[in-house]
Amino acid sequence: MSTSGAELAQQELIEDFEIFDNWMDRYQYIIDMGKQLTDFPDEWKIEELKIQGCQSNVWMRHEEQGDKLIFKATSDAAIVSGLIAILLRIYSERTAAEIRATEPHFLADLGLDKHLSPTRSNGLHSMLERIYLVAQQK
């Protein structure tokens, strides 16, 4: 059985984080990833695209390109933008079936589940739920 692109993205992400010795460096890397997000126009910042359950403002939209789902998102918080970048790296530009089949083991493997505040963790899970919901509807 071949490894999916989403699974490979998780493995690469975990390897990227292994170079950091402490969580301050990991947080900075997450923030730096967020700075690389593509533009998210103001006209997309509408209630319908807002993620509920996030303390920060987060908007996410998707579009279909062939059989792949393309996600774009933004936040007004630096660390949350980095978490978005992580999710998009793993789940964007994948088929709905691949998204549904990809468990987010990177949360435990990276220790994010233990090093994020409860509100950030809830927001991350809300973003994941939106991604899975979109994939389930396809």
Catalytic residues: 54
From 48-52, 63-67, 69-73, 113-117, the region with the lowest mean pLDDT: 113-117
Sign of the four-CA dihedral 132, 136, 137, 138:
positive
pLDDT in tens, 11-49: 999 999 999 999 999 999 999 999 999 999 999 999 999
Entry pTM:
0.94
Residue 109 lies in domain: 5-136
Q: What are the DSSP calls for 74-99, one per residue?
A: EESSHHHHHHHHHHHHHHTTEEHHHH
| CATH assignment at residue 82 | 3.90.1010.10
The domain total for the chain is: 1
- Number of neighbouring beta carbons within 10 Å of residue 31: 17
At residue 2, the pLDDT reads 54
Amino acid at 108: A
